[in-house]
Amino acid sequence: MGAPLLEVRDLKQYFKVRGRLFTPAYVKAVDGINMDIARGETLGLVGESGCGKTTVGRTILRLYEPTGGKIVFDGDDITRADMHPYRRRMQIVFQDPYASLNPRMTVGDIVAEAIDIQKLATSRKDRKDRINALLERVGLNSEHATRYPHEFSGGQRQRIGIARALAVSPEFMVCDEPLSALDVSIQAQIINIFEDLQAASGLAYLFIAHDLSVVRHISHRIGVMYLGKMVELASAEDLHFHPIHPYTQSLLSAIPIPDPRSSRNRKRIILQGDVPSPLNPPSGCNFRTRCPYAMPICAEQEPEFKDYGNKHFAACHLLDKKA
């Protein structure tokens, strides 16, 4: 894959909330994330709702200002830099295709907004040609440019969102659960668009999703988050067939299997209890309150996120004991 396009080191995003007796408290939405993404690579990011996946993506793009850590893009430290020059190179496709498009703007103006801001079009004709080319690239046509978002289906709106993100020819794109509001048949079409774009232009993706089977299909590597922390990171195949963290094993055991016989014979790992509050996370390992293998050391010491061979990273005291 070559040198990393994006490097994230010890990224933290804490949100201040009102505590007791006017004492400030903090929600640790993202608490020390490390990752690299190479040019032309897709890194999938999974985990249950509220674990901090979306916050990671938005903090990397500086839509949220990071509380701590370091973000390096193509060798430049952008943690505190002026982001205007990087908006052309880093884009996002939002989760909700209904809420992320301005209902008062035509599709053409929505797609061309970034072109106008970055002054990429040399004339009105060039602007119109760019809009039409972008719409055709995502499976729409020039006639759609004069219509409004409410006239389109969910899948078509998501295509418009992708066209808007592509308008400035980015090198890196955060895909924030772009399939969750779509029917299964439309999901396949959108996935094909993402893959075709990557093959054609070498786009790098941070692909955030709930569906592990979809993430496995589209990703080169997959990271698993729990309560603001990365608990496992490996290649898509290695993570799917050889998960080593108890939380990842539980997630994978919940994926439906189309074969009824295999499904009946498979052991389902059901976690007990609820996810702790990010306002008051457990001591030591965040996962210990739901882990069936928790040991005394898990409450005393936070496990180190380290390589257990073949670039398969995980954070678990149980793995150190097995080693």
Q: Compute the average pLDDT of residues 169-187.
A: 88
pLDDT value for 264: 63
pLDDT value for 20: 72
Tens digits of residue pLDDT in 110-134: 999 999 999 999 999 999 999 999 9
Long-range contacts of 108-111 (CB under 8 A, 24+ apart): 108/145, 108/146, 110/149, 110/160, 110/164, 111/135, 111/145, 111/160, 111/163, 111/164, 111/167
The highest-level CATH class for domain 4-89+170-322 is: alpha beta
pLDDT value for 82: 93
Read off the pTM: 0.90
Q: Where are the domains of the chain?
A: 4-89+170-322
* pLDDT-based confidence at residue 311 (cuts at 50, 70, 90): very high
Q: Compute the average pLDDT of residues 260-271.
A: 68
What whole-number distance in Å separates Cα of residue 298 and Cα of residue 284?
5
| DSSP secondary structure letter of residue 67 | S
Q: Percentage of the chain with pLDDT > 70?
A: 95
Structure-block tokens of residue 317:
């005291």
Angle at 29 between CA 301 and CA 273, to 5 degrees: 65
Q: Compute the average pLDDT of residues 245-266.
A: 77
The single residue listed with the structure tokens 């999974």 is: 46
Tens digits of residue pLDDT in 130-154: 999 999 989 899 999 999 999 999 8
pLDDT value for 212: 85
pLDDT value for 234: 96
Q: Compute the average pLDDT of residues 262-285.
A: 79
Tens digits of residue pLDDT in 202-243: 999 999 998 888 899 999 999 999 999 999 999 999 999 999
Q: Residue 30: CB partners within 8 Å, gap ≥ 6?
A: 11, 12, 13, 52, 55, 56, 59, 228
